Amino acid sequence: MPKWTYDYFVYSFHCNPKAKIRISAIAQILQESAWMHAESFGAGYQSLQPEGLMWVLSGLKIMVKDFPGWGDSLSLNTWGKKYENLFAYRDFEVFDANTNSLKIQASSAWLLVDSATHRPQRITPHLQRIPPESDSVYDAKPGQINLPESFESSRELKVPYADIDVYNHVNNTKYIQWCIDSLDDYHLGKFEISEFEIRFVSEAHLNDEVIIFYQKVADGYAFMAKNKETDKEIFRAEAKISY
């Protein structure tokens, strides 16, 4: 079936001090579900390796209606939505497995790139192996983020080995956690993050020195990260908050 369903359990290591699932852990579950669904159609990591191709996430928007907590059982649906220009779009819905109440919705945009050069490739009909579904949880392209004119705050980090994934670069979910780790007021429990959106611009690698800029805006926070040495943008993101 074009729509794919998988059951997840929220373990303690997914959770923040409030025993609620972290935004970055949500992104991990979404990413893994996307890979498994794609693999079932011969378009996943293992299937594309011999063809010298791989999927990279370009944009992601997560919309949380109610944060699942430690011990919750979840049912996740994901499906390919459409192919448009160089992008493949995929949506997600996460439900409480016991009550069937909607917890999370998300939308993503993916690029197919050459494994050696990392240059985007056309998604030809031969590669459009995941049949698209017409259902949509978000109609705009995820990752379309306008940055503030300036940032008042920043912090620096050196990319650790623990943040490197199977593609030998920083995994996209780690960028999300970098943003959350920048917000002292969130750590103090002053607000919740109801939406998180991110656009991935370039790669970061082991031992890269990164500057993360962040700024309070009208309905949340804006973020942007750059490579300290090259001044190249790595990602931009925004978080909407609720009190």
| Residue 137 forms part of a structural domain | no
173 and 72 within one domain: no
Q: What is the pTM of this model?
A: 0.95
69 and 9 within one domain: yes
Q: Which residue has the tokens 């909407």?
A: 240
Report helix, strand or coil for 176.
helix
76 and 163 within one domain: no
Domain boundary among 127, 145, 168: 127
Above 60 in pLDDT, residue 1? no
DSSP for 46-114, written as a single string: HHHGGGTEEEEEEEEEEEESS--BTT-EEEEEEEEEEEETTEEEEEEEEEETTT--EEEEEEEEEEEEE
| Residue 140 forms part of a structural domain | no
Supply the pLDDT for residue 191. 84
Report helix, strand or coil for 21.
strand
97 and 181 within one domain: no
Report helix, strand or coil for 172.
helix
42 sits in the region (left: phi over 0; alpha: psi -120 to 50; else beta) called left
| DSSP class of 148 | P
| Residue 142 forms part of a structural domain | no
| Residue 136 forms part of a structural domain | no
109 and 10 within one domain: yes
Beta carbons of 42 and 117 less than 8 angstroms apart: no
Predicted confidence band of residue 186 (pLDDT cuts 50, 70, 90): confident
Domain boundary among 127, 142, 175: 127
Supply the pLDDT for residue 114. 95
Nearest-CA neighbor of 89 among 22, 141, 45?
141
- Neighbouring C-beta atoms of residue 149, cutoff 10 Å: 5
37 and 99 within one domain: yes
Q: What is the C-alpha radius of gyration for the chain, rounded to an integer number of angstroms?
A: 18
123 and 163 within one domain: no
44 and 121 within one domain: yes
Tokens of 227: 């490579």
| Residue 145 forms part of a structural domain | no
- Write the CATH number for 10: 3.10.129.10
Average pLDDT, the chain: 94
| Residue 178 forms part of a structural domain | yes
Share of the chain above pLDDT 90, in %: 89
| Residue 49 forms part of a structural domain | yes
96 and 162 within one domain: no
| Domain span at 62 | 4-127
Share of the chain above pLDDT 70, in %: 99
- Cα 208–Cα 211–Cα 214 angle in degrees, nearest 5: 150
Strand pairing class (53-64; 209-217): unpaired
114 and 165 within one domain: no
- Cα 38–Cα 41–Cα 43 angle in degrees, nearest 5: 55
166 and 85 within one domain: no
| Residue 202 forms part of a structural domain | yes
Looking at residues 84-101, what average pLDDT do you find?
Answer: 96
- DSSP β-bridge partners for residue 54: 113
User: What total of structural domains would you count in the chain?
Assistant: 2
CA separation for the pair 192, 28 (Å, rounded): 19
Supply the pLDDT for residue 192. 87
Above 90 in pLDDT, residue 184? no
115 and 75 within one domain: yes
